[in-house]
């Protein structure tokens, strides 16, 4: 369908990629993985014909249509949602829009006239498909002007426009950004069944695992291809890195031996073998090659967290007739890691602003602990000056930073840890990619030494490899954590219980990760269908869930902590009763002691058994 031949692209002195050659076969679903700043979006623009390479070419099959979903869609603001959605078919679009206007006006004559036009042009199926897709993407107000849509709504509208168009090849740059979890799961199913050729960039690993048939990775300027899902990619990538490291060590041993030979002067009337010299230099390159690209090194600044975290008392909030919160009460405890989920518009981001004091509730209060230091990573928080240098962003916060282990790092060293090498630290912020801006923003948040992290959609635009490092950091983070994210893999790795926004101010606490919640929801839906004498929906198998070992829920962690204190106390009481019963003349009632002994022993046996069960998990 598409063939990329020897593509190279640079911006100034920064080389994004060089000599890339690959194909996009018919009905393949390919995911591109690479670090932020290595040109993923630029490559997508080149494949779509929006940008041109410095060298090389893109060859398309003559009879194909290509649809492109960019990271930052540009849609005519003068159009309505319906006009934009069906814009690719101008004749039908005009008729459908006239029919929608007639319906909105209630003019029976106009409705009759446009209905006949719909019949004559065969536009009924076209309209129903548009409405279904817009409804799935929560764009129900089809008369709404594009000019008043939020960034997330614009991205969803651009996705709807592409799906309505039904091109032969879909180029998707971060298609799951700004979609809630229900939308993501619907999109997964749609793309798997549509039979189209797909080339995409996404950080959503569950999405990758379900949708992708092939994964292309750009690492250290080279392209590596993998057949299979994301799980297959992770396994085979690790094998490739191990093989590379083995080859590098072997080349190093040969290099040491050949270096000694190269240092020796040739004997009289002799000369060194030219072939052997050339082979020496090739071996040297292999020996000193970097096996894998550098990874982000997270920083941890010491910040003590007191006993009191914060308490929410009777929080209530409305926007007009819309209820976001209605009498919410909660007390956060040490080490708590909460995920927040819910459909778009149910108030998740507003809830975070309320907790951090950015907005005030209609009723109720938030009581903060004195030692609380909040790090708030906002969706819209990257307000960097495009004319500032990267290093200036960091030095404006601190020239040097003392970490939790007592070591001190300069601003330049901090940036190097976050994959901004010295030669890029003096670039203007305007030259950074979306993912690099996110990475820089994350560094500025962590520099404040937060002991309570609030992350609102932290996975948007971050590459998969950086997300893995962030997940490891959050798993061992000693403070409290709240995460709002549509990335199911990220939620499963970082939180142990959920706050579910169900709409109309209704909130529900669920003990467990997102996959546990999803499976529970499917079971409840299946029971409802059985009760209504309908065929139960098949429960989708989640390969990641099967592969992921079960972890303690938040409630189980608390139970284990309580058992750690209860078991020693029961053991001590059992010993005291035994001593009294074995004494020649016990002071207490022997019958009462015997009954208590049986009760304590039984309780101790049960708690020890439960402790063993939880400890094994």
pLDDT above 90 for 229: no
Contact 584, 543 (CB under 8 A): no
Write the pLDDT tens digit of every residue in 575-616: 887 777 776 665 666 677 777 877 888 887 788 778 777 777
Pairing state between β 310-319 and 322-331: antiparallel
Mean pLDDT for 287-297 is 58
Other residues' Cβ atoms within 10 Å of the Cβ of residue 47: 21
Q: Is 380 helix (H, G, I), strand (E, B) or coil?
A: coil
Provide the pLDDT for residue 454.
Answer: 92
Exposed/middle/buried for 156, CB within 10 Å: 0-12, 13-18, 19+?
A: buried
Given a cut of 50, is residue 545 above it in pLDDT? no
List the domain boundaries for the chain: 77-166, 241-287, 310-512, 554-616
Residues 6+ apart with CB under 8 A from 356: 374, 376, 454
The pLDDT assigned to 338 comes to: 93
Identify the CATH assignment for 310-512 out of 3.40.50.300, 3.30.360.10, 1.10.240.10, 3.40.50.720: 3.40.50.300
pTM of the entire predicted model:
0.68
DSSP 191-226: HHHS--EEEEE---HHHHHHH-SEEEEEETTEEEEE
Kindly report, residue by residue over 36-77, the tens digit of the pLDDT. Answer: 878 888 999 999 999 999 999 999 988 889 999 998 888 999
Query: What is the distance between the terminal CA atoms of the chain, rounded to a whole angstrom?
Result: 49
What contacts 87, CB < 8 A, 6 or more positions away? 79, 93, 161
Distance separating alpha carbons of residues 505 and 598, to the nearest angstrom: 49
**The predicted structure's pLDDT at residue 605:** 76
- 255 vs 308, more confident: 308
Band of residue 418 on the pLDDT scale cut at 50, 70, 90: confident
Three-state DSSP class for 294? coil
- How does pLDDT run across 313-342, given as a tens digit for each residue? 998 998 878 888 888 898 888 888 999 998
Q: Is the dihedral of CA 551, 555, 556, 562 positive or negative?
A: positive
Q: What's the confidence (pLDDT) of residue 294?
A: 63
Averaged pLDDT for residues 277-303:
64
581 Rama sector, left if φ>0, alpha if ψ -120 to 50, beta otherwise: alpha
- Could you tell me if 142 and 80 are in contact, meaning their C-beta atoms sit under 8 angstroms apart? yes
More confident residue, 308 or 361: 361
Q: Using an 8 Å Cβ cutoff, are 138 and 156 in contact? A: yes
> pLDDT tens across 70-106, in order?
988 889 999 888 888 887 766 666 777 777 778 777 7
Residues constituting the chain: 617
Which pair of structure tokens corresponds to residue 596?
């208590």
Give me the DSSP letters along 233-274.
HHHHHHHHHHHHHHHHHHHHHHHHHHHHHHHSPPPTT----H
**CA R_g for the chain:** 30
Residue 263 has pLDDT above 70, yes or no: no
| pLDDT score at 357 | 85
HEC profile of 394-425: HHCCCCEEECCCCCEEEHHHHHHHCCCCHHHC
Q: What is residue 35's predicted lDDT score, i.e. its pLDDT?
A: 83
DSSP state of 428: B
CB 490, CB 459: distance < 8 Å: yes
pLDDT of residue 546: 44
């Amino acid at each position: 369908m598409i063939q990329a031949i020897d593509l190279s692209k640079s911006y100034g002195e920064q080389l994004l990629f060089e000599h890339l050659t690959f194909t996009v076969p018919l009905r393949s679903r390919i995911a591109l993985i690479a670090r932020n700043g290595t040109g993923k979006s630029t490559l997508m623009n080149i494949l779509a014909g929006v940008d041109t390479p410095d060298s090389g070419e893109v060859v398309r099959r003559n009879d194909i249509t290509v649809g492109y979903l960019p990271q930052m869609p540009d849609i005519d603001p003068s159009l309505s949602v319906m006009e934009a959605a069906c814009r690719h078919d101008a004749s039908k679009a005009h008729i459908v829009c006239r029919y929608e206007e007639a319906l909105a006006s209630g003019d029976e004559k106009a409705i009759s006239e446009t209905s006949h036009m719909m019949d004559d042009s065969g536009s009924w199926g076209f309209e129903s498909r548009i409405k279904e897709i817009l409804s799935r993407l929560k764009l129900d107000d089809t008369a709404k002007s594009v000019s008043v849509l939020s960034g997330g709504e614009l991205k969803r509208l651009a996705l709807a426009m592409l799906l309505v168009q039904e091109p032969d090849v879909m180029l998707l740059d971060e298609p799951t950004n700004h979609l809630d979890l229900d939308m993501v799961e619907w999109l997964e199913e749609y793309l798997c069944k549509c039979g189209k050729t797909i080339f995409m960039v996404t950080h959503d690993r569950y999405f990758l695992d379900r949708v992708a048939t092939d994964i292309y990775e750009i690492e250290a300027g080279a392209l590596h291809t993998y057949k299979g899902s994301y799980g297959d990619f992770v396994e085979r990538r690790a094998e490739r890195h191990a093989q590379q490291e083995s080859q590098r060590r072997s080349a190093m041993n040969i290099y040491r031996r050949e270096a000694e030979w190269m240092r020796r002067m040739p004997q009289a009337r002799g000369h060194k073998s030219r072939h052997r010299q050339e082979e020496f230099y090739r071996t040297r390159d292999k020996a000193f090659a970097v096996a894998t690209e550098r990874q982000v090194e997270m920083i941890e600044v010491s910040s003590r967290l007191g006993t009191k975290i914060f308490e929410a008392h009777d929080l209530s909030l409305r926007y007009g007739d819309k209820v976001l919160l209605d009498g919410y009460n909660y007390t956060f405890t040490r080490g708590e890691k909460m995920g927040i989920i819910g459909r778009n518009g149910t108030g998740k981001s507003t809830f975070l602003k309320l907790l951090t004091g950015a907005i005030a509730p209609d009723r109720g209060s938030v009581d903060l602990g004195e030692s609380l230091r909040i790090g708030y990573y906002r969706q819209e928080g990257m307000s960097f000056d495009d004319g500032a240098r990267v290093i200036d962003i960091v030095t404006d916060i601190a020239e040097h930073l003392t970490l939790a282990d007592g070591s001190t790092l300069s601003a330049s060293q901090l940036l190097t840890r976050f994959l901004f090498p010295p030669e890029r630290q003096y670039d203007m912020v305007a030259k950074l990619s979306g993912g690099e801006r996110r990475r820089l923003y994350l560094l500025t948040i962590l520099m404040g030494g937060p002991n309570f992290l609030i992350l609102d959609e932290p996975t948007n635009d971050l590459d998969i490899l950086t997300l893995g490092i962030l997940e490891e950091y959050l798993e061992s983070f000693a403070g409290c954590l709240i995460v709002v994210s549509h990335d199911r893999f990220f939620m499963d790795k970082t939180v142990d219980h959920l706050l579910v926004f169900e709409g109309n101010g209704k909130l529900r606490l669920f003990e467990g990760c997102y996959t546990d919640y999803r499976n529970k929801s499917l079971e409840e839906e299946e029971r409802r269908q059985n009760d209504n004498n309908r065929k139960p929906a098949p429960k989708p198998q989640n390969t990641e869930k099967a592969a992921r070992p079960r972890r303690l829920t938040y409630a189980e962690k608390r139970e284990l902590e309580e058992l750690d204190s209860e078991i020693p106390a029961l053991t001590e009481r059992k010993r005291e009763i035994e001593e009294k019963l074995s004494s020649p003349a016990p002071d207490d009632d022997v019958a009462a002691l015997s009954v208590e002994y049986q009760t304590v022993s039984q309780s101790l046996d049960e708690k020890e058994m439960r402790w063993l069960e939880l400890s094994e998990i």
